[in-house]
Chain A
C-alpha cells in the first residue's frame, strides 16, 4: 500500500482518501465514468462516504491553484474529487451502480470532456 501511495500522493489532510486513489483518480471523465459503471455498489459507497466528507475542503484547497498548473498531489485530489460526481450518480440517483434497466456496455461515448481532466 505505502509503495503505491508514494507514487500518487495527496496533499496533507487528505490521507483518509489515499486508499481510493489507484481506482478512482482517473485522468479523464470517461475513465471515471467507466470506473463507476464497472464497480460494485459497496465499493462506490465506500468511496462516496469517504470523499463526500472531504469534498468541500478539497474544492477549497484546489481552488487555490491555477487549473493549468496544479502540483501533482493537488491534481490527484482534483481527479478524486471529480470522481465523486460519478459516485454520486450511483448513490444519490440510482441506488445502484448504473441507471436501472440500462445496458452495459452501451454505445454512448464521451468524445470530448472539459478542461482540465476531462
Chain B
C-alpha cells in the first residue's frame, strides 16, 4: 500500500488541477445528441486542419491515395505531381461530379474519370476531354480538379475543407508543433492496419484509447499486466500535457512484467526480441534518435509504457519503446465511428523478426476487439439518457480536455478566436 501512495501522490500533484482544468463532472449530451453532431461536422470537421496520412504513402510523382471523409460521405484524392507537390483535391470530376478514383491508392501517368474519360494531370489540370468538339466553347483551364487546402508537417499530411483556411496549419498546431516537432518517426513507410466500424460516437471511441484506468478491467489477459503493477495497480498516468486544442498523455508500464508460466509462445517471442520491444526498429540509431526526443517518454520514467498524442480533432499518434502507431476516429454519424489504426514497423529482415511482428499484430487485434465491444456497451448507456454528466478522475484528464475543446470549437464563431 505504501508503494502505491508513493508512486501516485508524492511524486506529483493532480494532473487535472495542475493543467488548470475544472474538476467538475463533464456533460454527456455531446456524446449522444444528433444536433450536436451536426454542429461538430460544420464547426469542427469543416474548419479544423484534419490529419489524413503521411507523405510516405505517396513516395514518387504519379502516386495518388484516396482518403475517405466519413463525416461528409465523400473522399479526398491526394496526389504527388511531377513537380513534387503533394496536394489534395475533391475526388470529383468537374464534368458531372462523378468519383474519379475508386481504388485506395495507386500510381498513374494521368487521372482518368471512368464516367466519360476526362483526364487530369496530378496537378489537377484538365488534360483531355473525350469528343471535345461537341462541347460549347469549353474553357479547359476552368475545368480542373477542385483543390482542398493541403499542408504538411513532419511528414503528416493535413487538409482543411475551408475554401480559404482561417488559420495556417502552423497556427492550428500551436504548442503541439513545438512539443512533437522533429520526432524521428521509425519506419514510416511500412505498416499493418486495421479498420472497424464502431457503434459509438467518435469521441466515445477516442476516449477509450487515451485513458489507462480501464486497462486492468477490460484487458485483463491482453494488456493489464503490462500497464499496471503493484506500485501502480490502477495504471495511473505518468504525465499529461495540454497543448492548445491538442493534448498528450504518458502512460505507466510494468517493467517487471514476465509472461505467465504457461505462455510459451509469448516467452519465445520475448526471447527472440533483442530490444525488449516486439516492433523491431529499422536500426539502432533510428531507435535511439526516436527515443531520445523529449516528447517520447517525456518524464524519462523507468516505468514508461507509451504516450498518446491526440491531434485535434480525431487522430492519436502513439509512441512506444519500439516506434509509433496511429489511430483515426472519424465520425460517420452521431453514433458511428469509422476507425482505422496503422502500426508502423520496419520490414522484417529475418523470420525471427517476422514472427515477433505476427505476435504483436495478433495481440493488437484482440485489444481492438475488446475495445470495440466495450464501446458498444458504453454508448448504449450514454444513449439511455440515464445520466447527464460523467464524473472523471485524474487519469481521465484527456477526456475532460477533449470535451472542453469540442464544445469550444462548436460554439466559436471563428477559428481565430479559439487559437491563441
Contacts and interface: CB of A to CB of B under 8 A. Distances in A.
Interface stretch (A3-11, A12-20, A38-46, A107-115): A107-115
Contacts of B221: 93-94
B365 A59 contact: no
A85 B197 CA distance: 25
Given A29-B361, A88-B265, A81 B355 contact: yes
A25 to B, nearest CB: 13
A62 B351 contact: yes
A32 B361 CA distance: 12
B389 interface: no
B283 interface: no
Contact of A52 (B196, B264, B272, B347): B264
Interface stretch (B24-32, B48-56, B368-376): B368-376
A3 B221 CA distance: 41
B265 A106 contact: no
A109 B196 contact: yes
Interface in A56-93: 56, 59, 62-63, 65, 67, 78, 81-82, 84-89, 92-93
B370 to A, nearest CB: 6
A116 B351 CA distance: 9
Interface stretch (B145-153, B158-166, B186-194, B312-320): B186-194
A82 to B, nearest CB: 5
A99 interface: yes
Given A55-B265, A89-B362, A89-B363, A114 B345 contact: yes
Given A63-B350, A107-B197, A107-B198, A118 B265 contact: no
A111 B361 contact: no
Contacts of B190: 114-115
Interface in B344-396: 345, 347-352, 354-355, 357-359, 361-363, 365-366, 368-370, 372-373
B262 interface: yes
B365 A85 contact: no
A7 B263 CA distance: 33
B23 interface: no
B352 A63 contact: yes
Contacts of A67: 348-351, 354
A82 B365 contact: no
A31 to B, nearest CB: 12
A102 B370 contact: yes
Contacts of B222: 93, 99
Contacts of B192: 29, 110, 112-114, 118
Contacts of B191: 112
Nearest to A87: B265
A114 B190 CA distance: 8
Interface in B278-317: none
B259 to A, nearest CB: 8
B195 interface: yes
B312 to A, nearest CB: 25
A110 to B, nearest CB: 6
A111 B194 contact: yes
B268 interface: yes
Contacts of A111: 193-195, 340
Given A111-B193, A114-B361, A92 B352 contact: no
Contacts of A102: 369-370, 372-373
B369 A99 contact: yes
B264 A85 contact: no
Nearest to A70: B351
Contacts of B260: 92
Contacts of B362: 29, 33, 85-86, 88-89
A114 B373 contact: no
B350 A108 contact: no
Contacts of B361: 29, 85, 110, 113-114, 118
A113 B351 CA distance: 15
Contacts of A29: 192, 358, 361-362
Nearest to A94: B221
A107 B196 contact: yes
Contacts of B366: 89, 93-94, 99
Contacts of A113: 192, 361
Interface of A: 29, 33, 48, 52, 55-56, 59, 62-63, 65, 67, 78, 81-82, 84-89, 92-94, 98-99, 101-103, 106-118
13 contacts: A55-B265, A78-B354, A88-B266, A92-B262, A99-B366, A99-B373, A107-B196, A108-B196, A110-B365, A113-B361, A114-B345, A114-B354, A114-B358
